[in-house]
Amino acid sequence: MKSITIQGAKRESVGKKSTKALRDAELVPCVVYGGAEPLNFSTPEKHFKSLVYTPEAHTVSIEIDGQIIPAVLQDIQFHPITDKILHADFYQLSDDKPVIMEVPVRITGRSKGVVRGGVLRQSFRKLKVKAIPANLPDEIVIDVTKLNIGNKFYVGDIQSDIYSFMHPDNAVIAAVKMSRNAMKGGIAADDDEEETTEA
């Protein structure tokens, strides 16, 4: 998985006054968990542009006082009115310790059902994946070419030996529904599968 480097500075004080001063200077108060003890630091808000405001998934290399800390973004808080970033939590990565991340889903192919007049519905834009850092995928690619009207693509249809999903196997990622035009044309759906509730 691709990694983004951000520069940070250790926080000597974590009180309300110092936190407000950081935000006034367009710096974001942050914490890295997962190490021997939590590490408080700050980083310019602009560093989050390529980390948060993107459909892609990235790990993070946090550079503090010459030390590089590999991590993932775990949580981020926004101001309810201005959407300004108020705080961010990171989790330190270990080479042999699995981590959970949201990974984007990319649909490929033109399904048989769409060719026949159906409509492809995508239920998940991202999936939660569990793996050691070296095995985290950049994206989950799903080929829907074989899906006919009434067919669904489930989480359980994806096979991998290096990562697992934090979703039930019967969670529907994509489905081809019958459109109004297909109904008017009298096209029958493949109804061998039961309707599944989204996770």
Residue ranges of E strands in the chain: 3-10, 27-33, 39-44, 59-64, 67-78, 85-92, 99-108, 119-122, 126-131, 140-143, 152-154, 164-165, 172-177
- The answer, yes or no, to whether residue 190 has pLDDT greater than 90, is no
pTM for this entry: 0.77
The predicted model gives 39-65 an average pLDDT of 90
> What does the pLDDT read at residue 52?
86
The predicted model gives 76-101 an average pLDDT of 92
> What does the pLDDT read at residue 183?
60
Q: What are phi and psi of 89, to 5 degrees?
A: -110, 135
3-class SS at 94? coil
> What does the pLDDT read at residue 194?
37
Which amino acid is located at 64 in the chain? I
CA 106, distance to chain mean position in Å, is: 12
- pLDDT tens by residue, 126-167: 999 999 999 999 999 999 999 999 999 999 999 999 999 999
The proportion of the chain whose per-residue pLDDT surpasses 70, expressed as a percent, equals 90
> What does the pLDDT read at residue 191?
46
- pLDDT tens by residue, 100-121: 999 999 999 999 999 988 999 9
Question: Where do the domains of the chain lie, and which CATH numbers do they carry?
Answer: 3-93 (2.40.240.10), 100-184 (2.170.120.20)
Token pair 């790990």 in the structure block, residue: 59
pLDDT band at 197 (very low <50, low <70, confident <90, very high): very low
The predicted model gives 45-72 an average pLDDT of 90
